[in-house]
Amino acid sequence: MPELPDVEGFRRVVADHVVGSKVASVRVLDAGVVHTSPEEFTRALQGRVISEPSRYGKWLRVPTRNRSGYPQLLAHFGMTGAFVWTPGEQADHRHDRVVFEFRDGALRYRDMRKLTGLRLATERSEVEELLGDLGPDAAGVSRRDLRARLTRTARRIKPALMDQTVVAGLGNLCVDEILWRSRLAPTLSTTDLEAAHWARLHARLGSVLRSSSRVGHVPDRPSWLTGHRDEHDARCPRCSTPLSRSKIAGRSTVWCPRCQPS
């Protein structure tokens, strides 16, 4: 599932290839992903010049160049969505759902499972309605705010971190990596953490997101938990202890029982 680092990568795709360019045409290949009529979607964006995109949590906002910034494209990538740039003229991929054509190539919304998709906002209130329930963006949340929001109710630390109304942008891979680096078990209660735990958690959250955002995904490096979670006989890259696996809040969870004691 695309998480904050992935969406930051998609933001760079838009920023690097289409900012300042006019949308020559819009082709809606699958009406189910645009959450409005294909005709309205096309009419609103075709001929518009793309302005600088921004990311909030797992959402990407793509404004158009005028005083108000509207109409504006909002993208949520669900489980399998992505923005892909293809230069020149290329055939459509079977999972291309919407194609924005420009003079020198095409920006493609590509999505196999089609769980969310693209939305059109024509004014600020529509953006606020979509994003208003989200917590602060995970890449910029302060330590104090993180602790305050996570301790409002006693709950396990992993599902609390993944709750988008608490903090926006973290998904399964990010949270497992952050907790492993923080040496915190995913089953710990948020009310059991002490000041030193919060300092470490906030620091590791920031470092994981910075490193991951630079490459546009949570990397599967040998020194990262993510690099070993799918191995048959997976072991902790820090201490070589066999990794534990379980479902927590319905999500596949991997941790080291030695480095992250309960």
Tell me whether residue 251 is one of the annotated catalytic residues: yes
Catalytic residue (one of 2, 5, 159, 219): 2
Cα(74)–Cα(18) distance, rounded to whole angstroms?
15
Cα(103)–Cα(24) distance, rounded to whole angstroms?
7
Contact criterion met (CB below 8 Å) for 72 and 47 = no
Cα(122)–Cα(171) distance, rounded to whole angstroms?
29
Catalytic residue (one of 12, 27, 183, 251): 251
| Tokens 């004691």 sit on residue | 261
Tell me whether residue 261 is one of the annotated catalytic residues: no
Tell me whether residue 2 is one of the annotated catalytic residues: yes
Cα(54)–Cα(252) distance, rounded to whole angstroms?
30
Catalytic residue (one of 58, 110, 119, 204): 58
DSSP string, 129-152: HHHTT---BTTT--HHHHHHHHTS
Q: In what order do the strands lie in the sheet with 59-63?
A: 54-56, 59-63, 72-76, 117-121
Contact criterion met (CB below 8 Å) for 258 and 239 = yes
Q: How many CB atoms lie within 10 A of CB 31?
A: 14
Q: Which structure tokens are listed for 57?
A: 């949590």
Catalytic residue (one of 3, 8, 11, 229): 3
Q: Is the peptide bond before 71 cis (omega within 30 degrees of 0)?
A: yes
Task: Classify 173 as helix, strand or coil.
Answer: helix
Let me know the angle formed at the C-alpha of 136 by 134 and 140, rounded to the nearest 5 degrees: 150
Residues assigned a catalytic role:
2-3, 58, 251
